[in-house]
A and B are shown apart, each in its own frame.
Chain A
């Protein structure tokens, strides 16, 4: 089997089967489709001119403009605050939900909860946004930083618990029994055995939540209050007025931040 496959890979004269070449070409085409726009976007963020399609020389002017833009910097700070707070809250609650679903045999409403937990992942953002907006209006909550954070917590719990659950499912439940057998209380067993073992999943989920919070536009736009924009929503507003390489600079900044976080998340999840 192995030898036959090895033979297929190195036919005489280095020729490969047609299928293999087509598939390889396809892969490159897909990558190009994904990454060329990104490269173009990043490229023009260093443009000296004020157009996003005509190259006029290298400069960091637009980055300077960006950092000097006080409303934009305020939106960035709001984004970071929202991301940090909602990530922490969602990670704690999401991990707890994952444990409840994976580790406890039966409790009232478990199946329903299980099915509903993933709803925010499935339903369109607009639906979720309208839903939250109506909810906040009903309970008479003033829209602002609070409502943005609450909304981000709401959708992030699902993502965190999906990631953490996968990790818990991989973990041998006997380890917790062994800890209890070795005189550990419930809390000690969780703290010393369960948590260290699911930590890659928890951190991975947290990073995913952080990224999703930083990137969200639709839901935030609905539930934000006056003067509490997050960065993506602010940028969206900018585009409506004028498109300058400043947008490219902001996008590049967000892109780099998101990529770092997503790669971090993937690395943590892969670690065993």
Chain B
């Protein structure tokens, strides 16, 4: 049983009439890499800021390692933040920026020098200690922000879209590096992002938020394979939606009348939406090629899109259109628009979500 690093209990935050965070309950374990994921304005940053002490909950309670934070200001909380804009002090050198927190806590000068040096090494900025933030690239500034927070050995590190301002290649490199650093220092990371890929690759667990509500919490695979509702299914990755009704447990009758086996959670008769990922759909020309036990639907190829590493086929089932993704592998069968195809998918890959 690991300790709870951050406990968010029935927290609501209102700005005037706007509900930014709506009754959120969440426990983040010690040492966990936890991501809060959602579109802009979903309340994820406000949640993070409440943990940091930069905002205070209108209702509810936030605990850090069991200690109620109440109205404690940020300088009395055992957390540090990496801000989206980095918020480096422009009038200080890299070393002065990194050493700021230690200086404020009256750590002896010799220890500050040593720890600042180590932190600068950790983020691979050796030799840049005397530069000003302006003389650094975006990626380097981001590392300074990280070092400036980590050097204080916070119990929890809060990161607010730290890679948002970087270009794609740098962002991907920093994702791996952040994950490595987190393993190395072993502290809890709470990471806010709107980039679902970033969340899926880096996190131990993800909390998906929308309109102030925490919709689902789980590991990457759970969030992707077993979305709790339509928003989560739609926001994370790409998906197809097929409407239908629960015929019996594990069986759904689609709007076109076909019966398919799916993962159901609702009683018989419930109107549901099947979510079906494009890469889970396999296409065949002949029914005999389909593996036994798979759901099959017959349709026509409406359109074919070439993506390089894959091809997308838009299949028309009459009652719905569905996208199927096929790897651009050697000897992979190609399907021509206008041709009739059989779309096959397993019961496990179709999740029935209540409306």
Contacts and interface: CB of A to CB of B under 8 A. Distances in A.
B101 A183 contact: yes
Contacts of B100: 179, 182, 184, 192
B103 to A, nearest CB: 8
B81 interface: yes
B73 A178 contact: no
Contact of B87 (A178, A185, A192): A178
B104 A181 contact: no
A174 B83 contact: yes
Interface residues of B, number: 23
A237 B83 CA distance: 61
Given A175-B89, A177-B54, A178-B89, A183 B83 contact: no
A182 B54 contact: no
Interface string B69-98: 000011100011101010111110000000
Contacts of B73: 180
A185 B279 CA distance: 53
A177 B160 CA distance: 13
B89 A183 contact: no
Contacts, number: 58
A193 B52 CA distance: 19
B81 A193 contact: no
Given A174-B83, A188-B104, A181 B74 contact: yes
B148 interface: yes
A179 B54 CA distance: 11
Given A175-B89, A177-B54, A184 B83 contact: no
A233 to B, nearest CB: 42
A180 B104 CA distance: 10
Contact of A182 (B53, B80, B85, B90): B80
A177 B91 CA distance: 16
B75 A185 contact: yes
Nearest to B90: A197
B83 A193 contact: no
Nearest to A173: B87
Given A180-B54, A180-B73, A185-B75, A196 B91 contact: yes
A54 to B, nearest CB: 56
Nearest to A272: B90
Of B52, B53, B91, most buried by chain A (CB within 10 Å of CB) is B91
B75 A180 contact: yes
Contact of A178 (B53, B81, B152): B81
A172 interface: yes
Contacts of B91: 196-197
B105 interface: yes
Given A175-B87, A197-B90, A183 B75 contact: yes
Contacts of B53: 180-181
Of A182, A188, A197, most buried by chain B (CB within 10 Å of CB) is A182
A49 to B, nearest CB: 55
Of A175, A188, A197, most buried by chain B (CB within 10 Å of CB) is A175
Contacts of A184: 75, 100, 104
A172 B85 contact: yes
A184 B103 CA distance: 9
A91 to B, nearest CB: 20
Given A175-B89, A177-B54, A196-B91, A182 B83 contact: no
B52 A182 contact: no
B152 A193 contact: no
A185 B87 CA distance: 17
Contacts of A183: 75, 101, 104-105, 152
A29 to B, nearest CB: 42
Contacts of A193: 89
A196 B100 CA distance: 14
B87 A174 contact: yes
Of A174, A185, A188, A193, most buried by chain B (CB within 10 Å of CB) is A174
27 contacts: A172-B85, A174-B85, A174-B87, A175-B87, A177-B54, A177-B81, A178-B81, A179-B89, A179-B100, A179-B104, A180-B53, A180-B54, A180-B73, A180-B74, A181-B53, A181-B75, A181-B79, A181-B80, A182-B80, A182-B100, A182-B101, A182-B104, A183-B101, A183-B105, A183-B152, A184-B100, A196-B91
Interface of B: 52-54, 73-75, 79-81, 83, 85, 87-91, 100-101, 104-105, 148-149, 152
Given A181-B79, A183-B105, 16 more contacts: A174-B83, A177-B54, A177-B83, A179-B100, A179-B104, A180-B74, A181-B54, A181-B74, A182-B75, A182-B148, A182-B152, A183-B101, A184-B75, A185-B75, A188-B104, A192-B100
